[in-house]
Amino acid sequence: MTGQARASRVAVLAEGGGPVDSGRIEVPPPGPGQILARTLLGGVCGTDVHLRRGDFALPFPVVLGHEGTGVVEELGAGVTHDAAGVELVPGDAVYWCPIPPCHRCYYCTVEKDFSSCPHGAWFHPADQPGWGSYADLVTLPSGMAVYRIPDGASPEAVIALGCALPAVLQGFDRAGLPGVVDSVVIQGAGPIGLSAVLVARQRGARTIVVIDQHENRLETARELGATATIPLSVDAERRRERVAELCGPRGPRLVVEAAGVLSAFGEGVDLAGHNGCYLLIGLWSGHGAASIDPTVVVHKNLRIVGSCYAQPEHYYRAMNLAARLERTIPLARIITHRFDVAEADAALDAVERGDAVKAVISPGEAKERES
């Protein structure tokens, strides 16, 4: 097939408000610096649900899918290694950071905050080859951070937490948290909350408490290392008492907002312990105003930290962390639903309803099935 154009099915969001359409594009051989890969698994993210709902403006129409793993089909001229200097050949499995930064702007060159690059984009036009992973084939542009998945690591484990694990790794970096992180409360047990369980565990937390409304997600949180879970059906006052029982009188050192709903904010400030940190990751969406008593922030010595997206470094670290953890933790089981490219709408429905802990697009999967 080398040097020939190939056909690829793509799932296209023509406008906010959906639905997702099935399209077909011709994918030319990769140009200089590009990598052509066949999608193995594309992660279905809560963000994609927001996009279909029309919560955010994009240069529509776009191909969905900012979380991906694939197998290299063909390398463009000059591509011999991945972004970490590992040799790359056709047949290798790869994972990528979905924003191709320009490497020339202030954010890229001075702050090394590639996800803020004004020339980067998470999505590409639907009539052009690109990195959208709700597709049979992806063309990964020159300048995009692409990493070879280590031998022995499963693409399931690498994609199971999607963009959430990199985002949580960046969040913990931004939170600082020198020294002991003995107790952590996590609001929400979607992919961000579950990633926070894993990272809190890596940081040696003795107590990891997760709050969520879905029992299936709480069960997964316990499997990954949560030491206690509290269903959202328990009223707010009782939740507060339970956190105090579990974390002790100083309260949790860290509260991670992974809920993406505004009502979580006031409770998070309230739950955070003395000298603690409240890390906001999930409220990427859910615009609105929330009132808090700022004297509480002062009296607790509380730090409130926001963290948006992740850097190539965090994707690389997330991939290696997943590769190591899957030896002892059943990360692949986080994936509960698999869909073909043509079933993208059903995949988004499963995530929207909360049925899926994690759904993936697996091109060629005949129909929805629960793993």
Residue 209: strand pairing partners: 185, 228
207 or 307: whose CB is closer to Zn ion?
A: 307
Binding piece for Zn ion, criterion CB under 5 A, among 84-92, 108-116, 316-324, 355-363: 108-116
Q: How far is CA 229 from CA 105, 243, 264, 267, 320, in A?
A: 44, 10, 16, 16, 27
Site string for Zn ion, 51-90 (x = CB under 5 A): ----------------------------------------
Give the residue, chosen from 25, 45, 186, 357, that forms a contact with Zn ion under the rule CB under 5 A. Answer: 45
43 or 252: whose CB is closer to Zn ion?
A: 43
Count interface residues toward Zn ion (CB under 5 A).
9
Name which of residues 331 to 360 contact Zn ion (CB under 5 A). Answer: none
Question: Which residues have C-beta within 8 Å of that of residue 166, sequence separation ≥ 6?
Answer: 97, 310, 311, 314, 315, 317, 318
Binding piece for Zn ion, criterion CB under 5 A, among 28-36, 102-110, 124-132, 271-279: 102-110
Question: Which residues have C-beta within 8 Å of that of residue 238, sequence separation ≥ 6?
Answer: none
162 near Zn ion (CB under 5 A): yes
Give the residue, chosen from 108, 175, 341, 350, that forms a contact with Zn ion under the rule CB under 5 A. Answer: 108
Binding piece for Zn ion, criterion CB under 5 A, among 75-83, 114-122, 234-242, 347-355: 114-122
Binding piece for Zn ion, criterion CB under 5 A, among 42-50, 57-65, 244-252, 332-340: 42-50
Torsion (CA) 321, 324, 328, 331 in degrees, nearest 10: 50
45 or 140: whose CB is closer to Zn ion?
A: 45
How far apart are CB 287 and Zn ion at their closest, in Å? 18
193 near Zn ion (CB under 5 A): no
Give the residue, chosen from 138, 163, 341, 357, that forms a contact with Zn ion under the rule CB under 5 A. Answer: 163
The closest alpha carbon to 197, from 175, 228, 173, belongs to: 228
Give the residue, chosen from 14, 71, 102, 261, that forms a contact with Zn ion under the rule CB under 5 A. Answer: 102
Q: How far apart are CA 51 and CA 345, in angstroms?
A: 12
117 near Zn ion (CB under 5 A): yes
113 or 368: whose CB is closer to Zn ion?
A: 113
247 or 334: whose CB is closer to Zn ion?
A: 334
Radius of gyration of the chain (CA): 20
133 or 207: whose CB is closer to Zn ion?
A: 133
Binding piece for Zn ion, criterion CB under 5 A, among 20-28, 157-165, 263-271, 344-352: 157-165
47 or 183: whose CB is closer to Zn ion?
A: 47
19 or 118: whose CB is closer to Zn ion?
A: 118
Give the residue, chosen from 14, 58, 71, 105, that forms a contact with Zn ion under the rule CB under 5 A. Answer: 105
14 near Zn ion (CB under 5 A): no
162 or 188: whose CB is closer to Zn ion?
A: 162
Residues contributing to the site for Zn ion (CB under 5 A): 45, 47, 101-102, 105, 108, 117, 162-163
